[in-house]
Amino acid sequence: MAQNTMTPAELTKTLKVLKTAKEAKLTKVAVAGGSGYAGQELIRLLAQHPNVNLTAIGTNSHDGDKFSDINPGFAGMVDNICTDLNIEALAEGNDLIFLALPHGSAARLLSSSVLQKSKVIDLSGDFRLKNAAKHLLANGKPFDAAYGLPELNRHDIAHASLVANPGCYATAAILSLAPLVKAGLIVENSVIIDGKSGVSGAGRAPSLHIQFAECNETMAAYQLPHHRHTPEIEQTLSAYAADDVITTFAAHLVPMNRGILLTSYATMKTTVSKEEVTEAYLNSYKNEPFVRLWHNRGSMPETRWVKGSNFCDIGFALDQRSNRIVTVAAIDNLIKGAAGQAIQNMNIILGIDETTGIAQIPSFL
Amino acid sequence: MAQNTMTPAELTKTLKVLKTAKEAKLTKVAVAGGSGYAGQELIRLLAQHPNVNLTAIGTNSHDGDKFSDINPGFAGMVDNICTDLNIEALAEGNDLIFLALPHGSAARLLSSSVLQKSKVIDLSGDFRLKNAAKHLLANGKPFDAAYGLPELNRHDIAHASLVANPGCYATAAILSLAPLVKAGLIVENSVIIDGKSGVSGAGRAPSLHIQFAECNETMAAYQLPHHRHTPEIEQTLSAYAADDVITTFAAHLVPMNRGILLTSYATMKTTVSKEEVTEAYLNSYKNEPFVRLWHNRGSMPETRWVKGSNFCDIGFALDQRSNRIVTVAAIDNLIKGAAGQAIQNMNIILGIDETTGIAQIPSFL
Amino acid sequence: MAQNTMTPAELTKTLKVLKTAKEAKLTKVAVAGGSGYAGQELIRLLAQHPNVNLTAIGTNSHDGDKFSDINPGFAGMVDNICTDLNIEALAEGNDLIFLALPHGSAARLLSSSVLQKSKVIDLSGDFRLKNAAKHLLANGKPFDAAYGLPELNRHDIAHASLVANPGCYATAAILSLAPLVKAGLIVENSVIIDGKSGVSGAGRAPSLHIQFAECNETMAAYQLPHHRHTPEIEQTLSAYAADDVITTFAAHLVPMNRGILLTSYATMKTTVSKEEVTEAYLNSYKNEPFVRLWHNRGSMPETRWVKGSNFCDIGFALDQRSNRIVTVAAIDNLIKGAAGQAIQNMNIILGIDETTGIAQIPSFL
Amino acid sequence: MAQNTMTPAELTKTLKVLKTAKEAKLTKVAVAGGSGYAGQELIRLLAQHPNVNLTAIGTNSHDGDKFSDINPGFAGMVDNICTDLNIEALAEGNDLIFLALPHGSAARLLSSSVLQKSKVIDLSGDFRLKNAAKHLLANGKPFDAAYGLPELNRHDIAHASLVANPGCYATAAILSLAPLVKAGLIVENSVIIDGKSGVSGAGRAPSLHIQFAECNETMAAYQLPHHRHTPEIEQTLSAYAADDVITTFAAHLVPMNRGILLTSYATMKTTVSKEEVTEAYLNSYKNEPFVRLWHNRGSMPETRWVKGSNFCDIGFALDQRSNRIVTVAAIDNLIKGAAGQAIQNMNIILGIDETTGIAQIPSFL
């Protein structure tokens, strides 16, 4: 068809336009902290993100090393030379920087000077709590950290200069419970959260309790009865509730690399039907690209169905005898629970399709 | 010292007496169902039990096979030739038989004729529920199955001709919750049980969902909101409570061979101290050889600390904000949750030291 | 810059041209056999391949089912309705079909009529051996199956109507040994191959020996002293050797989902230096996108460094005392050992960049 | 029967004699180094050994701690208070001491003064090599360490004051190859050993490479082409050979807690039959309580069949085409490869039944 052909001159010009446009569009980003698991996942995903130019990897102890020498899986794919951990310098040369540092480091290193130069997405717990953030001043001004859970807070994220990426357990807990709280279905102080995590959730710093033979073939409960993500969960859910949401939260370590399965229990305010609960979830998530509801399946979410992906799968069951609801949420703790969600936040800030670079199909094994 | 020596003639006579006495004392036992995991564990433990002569292994499909040809780990240790699954014949020649058969088989195969010939310990769920047992008649008489949880029911077990060995989850749930119910500390209908089991708990019959690559590196919730052990738990706990105990029970599959970790949540009737709870547990278990309390440790029970042993380790934490208690129980599902407890019941029936043959130190890895 | 802008009319026309061109370019493909692990990986990778339209998934037992109902991880991503296993019909409507069927099925189902309608890439062992292929006639003509190892056989693959995708062990063995054979460095009948595979290599059909508790926490050797991939390896290597290559090959099952680590041993014809061996490998692979050499590292390949990717990593060590070379190759058995390599073959047939759709960075955990 | 009864007076006397005899017979032993995996296994087995009184556990960093506080699995079973690591003091109060210390420590700490006070069984590599031992003088006299592989060296062990307990890989390698060397069946310099070990073999000192997420779901080769056990294997086998035995030995790490599977390859001197090989093995092992031959089975040894036991299972296959033999040996690296064998050596020294305290049936999962 005539209108769908181009002359050679037209084609040459077109390709030139497209190439220039693409280069101009690439966002320059840096990752501070590339040696932990979340940092490595960030780098893996960013290196293949079509809108991003990963310019720098700042590390504590690998200044001058080739990233793929430290992590041989990246050979030929991410051969960047690591720099030291100079946040100011990273901010200077980039549009956006990710902080994938141990808890406490970001609060110590971040300044308003950095935030004036570059957008910042922080994967630590340092800026997640409102009260905590208020105490962190730079030049007399508090940081305006947006809580980086896109499904609840997309608008704030889009305009924030600092995003506090949620905790992994908190992501699964809030996504599975918020629709019930919003719809006024559950008794606020009846929430019990039983979280189970793969061992990568415990970080990468060598420690006896996460050595192979210490945590293979065993299960353990830890931080009872209040995991450190508890305040983050309660703060976020309470914003949608009539009363303060109070939770009991037991975390468990399970012998596998990746994945969080989170089972929550709550008392219903009144007797409700499966349909009413389904409607509450659909109201929240029917247009969400990364939340999948299991109300039409005969089974419950499993971590393998989300492995390597940015999905959060949510199922529920009603216990008529006790008038309770049981919810089950599954995420990949390193993707939707960390690096993937951080990139989702970046996509929102950049104003591009929110799924760009993080639409991988789960790898199931 | 003169009084502590013997003449050669005295010694010869003594040794002959001891050998005869020992042979006379050996209880003849059989295992019906030696191909499942619980059956194999029974055989492993019985073969090394000092008071037992394991005379027969009855199987469905291995009649005439050497047991150690089917399970090469037993080579040179248990080389018995398997027989077919004739319960009458097994009862005929033995003092006590263990039934380690799929659920439903025992109820179908057992008769009062069998029970007249031999004591029976059944590891299935067929006789655990009082109502269920009432319906199982043989010659017009209901079987008088004793519920085989020694810590609660030692007296009945000692005199029973049929013992219903508890379910694995039920063992962990009842042992960790009964002292709280007995002491009137928890609200009866507030109990939430979150159980996590290794894959051997799902049995040995080939099935897609328990293949290695289907359950390795993943977690799944199943039988929500009422695992089939729920009635067994509620029936047993309710016997000690003012009101009926009603529980919500979610079971989970975890990628490891052995072990159950069971986290329970309940609302306290009044505000109680750590000391009061500790006292409730000590009242129940201070003389129990197989229950270990963790009230003096800074951590919670883990399945590795009970692996390969008949122990049930129990810890707890109080959540002051919600006035809840969280308990954590760990057992080896195949030992205290099946074969070990069955032998504990046998020891009670035989009137010998309850720990005989099942006092192994946990193997920790 | 003036030349790099377009008028709105130009832009509209350009976008229309590009969209039409893209649709015209999409290759229509089908997968026959979507329920096994290799089939699922194929579908996962094809669904995200930019040049492919996955039109059909043919199965034995899921005709009419939504693919994502059987495999919930694909929900929202691959919601195709499965068809039955009619190879003729699949060939009719597609440019290329992949056969991911149990060994023996492809040879039974494939006809020259199918091959006239569509290109075929077969992932089974049915057409890998030359002698075997000769016996498979359709209308009196043998199938001309090209051996689908791109690094050795790119030209034949490009023009074949039937490609026999190599075995997983064979891929690792041939890629690590062929350069040594080609360079005449190793004694032909001295090759010993010790292969170790994750459990997904044993397929997905339920069977006792691949149940979780049967292969977790244990290692086993099988098919000694000649795994069924042996003839495939010997046939391929012998084509480059002065004498017939004869190997001893022991395969082992290791408790992990994915990955093959293959250690080979061979006697050197003469004393050679590390540099000479390196040169032999570089001669073969310096321009290969999916082979990574480890001669400059202080360690050996590990399966985690290739997990989820199409890479084959190869390392070696020289044993001066015995004048032997030890090589270590790592692949993901489901990607470079199956689905990824099949897509690499498809890319060659389509004449597009060989890495299209299979350039994932390894996921390392 | 009259002759088999005793009067009450006879019985009282007899029981008193037996009790006194038993107490007199108990050997006092100590373990130096109770925090590593081998040390913990030693303590677990010794605590249940009928002829032993475990009087002391010497540690580097837990002086004054209750052993069961450090390792809660031992609660109620081994509640000894740990002492510091004073070898002299341990030797003073005991008949026999086990050294389960890091490599290098025993050679540094041991003196002839210690050896005059107590028998010593050392689990490290310090005294395994003859040349190494010669250099270790105390008061001008070399230690006369016996190589503690009972199946080859029972006589020397019985009379030694110092026993060098073999390495785990070396135990599996020597037991599977020595009969072939002794019978003159294999070419001395043709031996290739491919060893695969569970992660407990890498010790317990925290290190990045043995953290859970670093070695779960992956396999790695290490110490190529000569694992540090190579000289130990060659020294021992060469003693039975016409020529020096030279081996190539590649070790591999596999994601499981316990177990070594060792596959070896050697060229036969002449063509031999399966029967001749079987005879060579039977000549060596037909009366050995801890070696099980698999010549009559259709499969090969697996580590699960020896798990938790002191067995070494050995199988073989003949490769007629290359005139090679492939042998497969399986041991539990912590039992027959460390603690169990150490106790076997102790039993020999004590002159009691060699299987005492280490006759556990494998636990298979």
DSSP letters spanning B173-210: HHHHHHHHHHTT-B-GGGEEEEEEE-GGGG-SS--GGG
The answer to whether the CB of B42 falls within 8 A of the CB of D364 is no
The answer to whether the CB of D98 falls within 8 A of the CB of D42 is yes
Residues of chain C neighbouring A306 (CB-CB closer than 8 A): 73
CB contact under 8 A, D362 and B307: no
- Judgement on whether residues A176 and A107 belong to the same structural domain of the protein: no
Please give the average per-residue pLDDT across A13-40, as a whole number: 82
- Judgement on whether residues B111 and B260 belong to the same structural domain of the protein: no
Active-site positions of C read 168
Q: What is the DSSP letter of A339?
A: I
Q: What kind and span of H or E run contains C251?
A: strand C247-253
Return the number of other C-beta atoms located less than 10 Å from residue B352's C-beta.
17
Strands B220-222 and D137-138, how do they pair?
Answer: unpaired
- Three-state SS string over A56-79 comes to EEECCCCCCCEHHHHCHHHCCCCC
User: What's the confidence (pLDDT) of residue C195?
Assistant: 98
- pLDDT above 90 coverage of chain D, percent: 82
- The predicted-structure confidence for C3-39, as pLDDT tens digits, reads as follows 456 666 766 676 676 666 666 679 999 999 989 999 9
The range of the structural domain enclosing residue C300 comes to: 168-333
Could you tell me if residue D176 is inside a domain? yes
Please give the average per-residue pLDDT across C52-81, as a whole number: 95
pLDDT band per the 50, 70, 90 thresholds, residue D15: low
Residue D318 sits at the chain C interface (C-beta within 8 Å): yes
Which of D71, D74, D297 minimises the CB distance to B72? D297
Q: How many domains does chain A have?
A: 2
CB contact under 8 A, C208 and B206: yes
CA distance C232 to C105: 19
Q: Give the dihedral of Cα atoms C301, C304, C307, C312; nearest 10 deg.
A: 0
Residue D78 sits at the chain B interface (C-beta within 8 Å): yes
pLDDT band per the 50, 70, 90 thresholds, residue C137: very low
List the structure tokens of C322.
């015995």
- Judgement on whether residues D277 and D237 belong to the same structural domain of the protein: yes
Helix (H, G, I), strand (E, B) or coil at C115: helix
Return the number of other C-beta atoms located less than 10 Å from residue B157's C-beta.
23
Residue A361 sits at the chain C interface (C-beta within 8 Å): yes
User: What's the confidence (pLDDT) of residue B2?
Assistant: 41
Burial annotation A68-91 (CB, 10 A radius, 16+ → b, else e): bbbbbbbbebbebebbebebebbb
Could you tell me if residue D182 is inside a domain? yes
CB contact under 8 A, B219 and A317: no
- Judgement on whether residues A72 and A135 belong to the same structural domain of the protein: yes
CB contact under 8 A, A292 and C76: yes
CB contact under 8 A, B48 and D16: no
Which of A221, A246, A321 minimises the CB distance to B328? A221
List the structure tokens of B67.
């047991």
Quick check: A131 pLDDT over 90? no
Chain B 167-196, residues with CB within 8 Å of chain C CB atoms: none
Backbone phi and psi for residue C77, each to the nearest 5 degrees, phi listed first: -115, -45
- Judgement on whether residues B121 and B173 belong to the same structural domain of the protein: no
Query: Could you confirm whether A168 is annotated as catalytic?
Result: yes
List the structure tokens of B145.
């199955």
Could you tell me if residue D250 is inside a domain? yes
Residues of chain C neighbouring A288 (CB-CB closer than 8 A): none
- pLDDT above 70 coverage of chain D, percent: 90
Residues of chain A neighbouring D216 (CB-CB closer than 8 A): 199, 212, 216, 255-257
Residue B257 sits at the chain A interface (C-beta within 8 Å): yes
Which of B214, B247, B252 minimises the CB distance to A261? B252
Nearest to B251 by CA among A85, C53, A299: A299
CA distance C239 to C152: 11
Residues of chain C neighbouring D259 (CB-CB closer than 8 A): 217-219
Which of C321, C322, C328 minimises the CB distance to D221? C328
Could you tell me if residue C176 is inside a domain? yes
- The predicted-structure confidence for D199-240, as pLDDT tens digits, reads as follows 999 999 999 999 999 999 999 999 898 888 999 999 999 999
Residues of chain A neighbouring B216 (CB-CB closer than 8 A): 256, 365
Nearest to C295 by CA among C318, C267, C272: C318
CA distance A143 to A131: 11
Please give the average per-residue pLDDT across D192-202, as a whole number: 97
Q: Quick one: C353 exposed, middle or buried, by C-beta within 10 A (0-12, 13-18, 19+)?
A: exposed
Nearest to C101 by CA among C81, C127, C75, C66: C127
The answer to whether the CB of C318 falls within 8 A of the CB of C332 is no
User: What's the confidence (pLDDT) of residue A135?
Assistant: 44
- The predicted-structure confidence for D323-340, as pLDDT tens digits, reads as follows 999 999 999 999 999 999
Active-site positions of D read 168
Burial annotation D335-346 (CB, 10 A radius, 16+ → b, else e): bbbbbbbbbbbb
- Which chain D residue shows the shortest CA-CA distance from B2? D17
User: What's the confidence (pLDDT) of residue C225?
Assistant: 86
Quick check: D265 pLDDT over 60? yes
CB contact under 8 A, D44 and B361: yes
- Judgement on whether residues C315 and C209 belong to the same structural domain of the protein: yes
Q: What kind and span of H or E run contains A10?
A: helix A8-25
* Annotated active-site residue in B82, B168, B215, B312: B168
The answer to whether the CB of D32 falls within 8 A of the CB of D97 is yes
Residues of chain D neighbouring C194 (CB-CB closer than 8 A): 194, 250, 263, 265
- Judgement on whether residues A34 and A119 belong to the same structural domain of the protein: yes
CA distance D260 to B334: 25
CATH number at residue D183: 3.30.360.10
CB pairs under 8 A between A and D: 58
Residue A227 sits at the chain B interface (C-beta within 8 Å): no
> Distances in Å between the alpha carbon of D241 and those of C290, D236, D281, D282?
46, 10, 16, 19
User: What's the confidence (pLDDT) of residue B1?
Assistant: 37
CA distance D361 to D310: 9
User: What's the confidence (pLDDT) of residue A107?
Assistant: 87
Residues of chain A neighbouring D256 (CB-CB closer than 8 A): 216
Which residues lie closer than 8 Å to A239 by C-beta, 6 or more apart?
A: none
- The predicted-structure confidence for D149-186, as pLDDT tens digits, reads as follows 999 999 999 999 999 999 999 999 999 999 999 999 99
Where on the phi/psi map is residue B304: left (φ > 0), alpha (ψ -120 to 50), or beta? alpha
Beta bridge partners of D54: D29
Could you tell me if residue A198 is inside a domain? yes
- The predicted-structure confidence for B280-313, as pLDDT tens digits, reads as follows 999 999 999 999 999 999 899 999 999 999 999 9
- Judgement on whether residues D172 and D138 belong to the same structural domain of the protein: no
Q: What share of chain A is helix, strand, coil (3-state, %, to 5)?
A: 40, 25, 40
Residues of chain A neighbouring C78 (CB-CB closer than 8 A): 361
CA distance D133 to D128: 7
For the ranges A10-19, C323-332, D319-328, the lowest mean pLDDT is seen at A10-19
Which residues lie closer than 8 Å to C168 by C-beta, 6 or more apart?
A: C197, C201, C229, C260, C331, C333, C334, C337, C338
For the ranges B66-75, C289-298, D11-20, the lowest mean pLDDT is seen at D11-20
- Three-state SS string over chain D comes to CHHHCCCHHHHHHHHHHHHHHHHHHCEEEEEECCCCHHHHHHHHHHHCCCCEEEEEEECCCCCCCEHHHHCHHHCCCCCCECECCCHHHHHHCCCEEEECCCCCHHHHHCCHHHHHHCEEEECCCCCCCHHHHHCCEECCEECCEEECCHHHHHHHHHHCCEEECCCHHHHHHHHHHHHHHHCCCECHHHEEEEEEECHHHHCCCCCHHHEHHHHCCCCEEECCCECCCHHHHHHHHHCCCCCCCCEEEEEEECCCCCCEEEEEEEEECCCCCHHHHHHHHHHHHCCCCCEEECCCCCCCCEHHHCCCCCCEEEEEEEECCCCEEEEEEEECCCHHHHHHHHHHHHHHHHCCCCCCCCCCCCCCC
Nearest to A80 by CA among A62, A57, A59, A103: A57
User: What's the confidence (pLDDT) of residue D360?
Assistant: 98
The answer to whether the CB of A213 falls within 8 A of the CB of D199 is yes
Q: pLDDT: is D2 or C271 the higher one?
A: C271
Nearest to C165 by CA among C96, C213, C211, C221: C96
- Which chain D residue shows the shortest CA-CA distance from A207? D206
User: What's the confidence (pLDDT) of residue C6?
Assistant: 66
User: What's the confidence (pLDDT) of residue A25?
Assistant: 79
In the sheet that holds C260-267, the strands lie side by side as: C220-222, C247-253, C191-197, C260-267, C324-331, C312-319, C291-293
Return the number of other C-beta atoms located less than 10 Å from residue B356's C-beta.
16
- Judgement on whether residues C236 and C110 belong to the same structural domain of the protein: no
Which of A198, A213, A256 minimises the CB distance to D199? A213
Nearest to B198 by CA among B125, B304, B126: B304
- Judgement on whether residues B230 and B283 belong to the same structural domain of the protein: yes
- Which chain C residue shows the shortest CA-CA distance from B198? C213
- Which chain C residue shows the shortest CA-CA distance from B211? C211
- The predicted-structure confidence for C199-231, as pLDDT tens digits, reads as follows 999 999 999 999 999 999 999 999 898 888 999
- Which chain D residue shows the shortest CA-CA distance from C188? D322
Mean of pLDDT over chain C: 92
Type of residue numbered C355: T
Quick check: D133 pLDDT over 60? no
CA distance, residue D35 to nearest chain B CA (Å)? 13
User: What's the confidence (pLDDT) of residue C7?
Assistant: 67
Nearest to D194 by CA among C268, C195, C170, C217: C195
- Judgement on whether residues C245 and C314 belong to the same structural domain of the protein: yes
CA distance, residue B201 to nearest chain A CA (Å)? 14
Could you tell me if residue B158 is inside a domain? no
What pTM, to 2 d.p., does this model score?
0.94
CB contact under 8 A, C72 and A297: yes
- Which chain C residue shows the shortest CA-CA distance from D300? C221
Per-residue pLDDT of chain B (365 residues; tens, 9 = 90+): 344 566 667 666 766 766 666 666 899 999 999 899 999 999 999 999 999 999 999 998 899 999 999 999 999 999 999 999 999 999 999 999 999 999 889 988 998 899 999 999 999 999 999 865 544 544 455 667 999 999 999 999 999 999 999 999 999 999 999 999 999 999 999 999 999 999 999 999 999 999 999 999 999 999 898 888 999 999 999 999 999 999 999 999 999 999 999 999 999 999 999 999 999 999 999 999 999 999 999 899 999 999 999 999 999 999 999 999 999 999 999 999 999 999 999 999 999 999 999 999 999 89
Could you tell me if residue D364 is inside a domain? no
Give the sign of the dihedral formed by CA C169, CA C170, CA C175, CA C179.
positive
Please give the average per-residue pLDDT across C286-307, as a whole number: 96
Could you tell me if residue C283 is inside a domain? yes
CATH number at residue A53: 3.40.50.720
Q: Which of these three, B143, B177, B200, is where a domain ends?
A: B143
User: What's the confidence (pLDDT) of residue C3?
Assistant: 46
- Which chain A residue shows the shortest CA-CA distance from D200? A213
- Judgement on whether residues B254 and B309 belong to the same structural domain of the protein: yes
CB contact under 8 A, A206 and D206: yes
pLDDT band per the 50, 70, 90 thresholds, residue D60: confident
Report yes or no for ipTM above 0.85.
Answer: yes
User: What's the confidence (pLDDT) of residue B295?
Assistant: 93
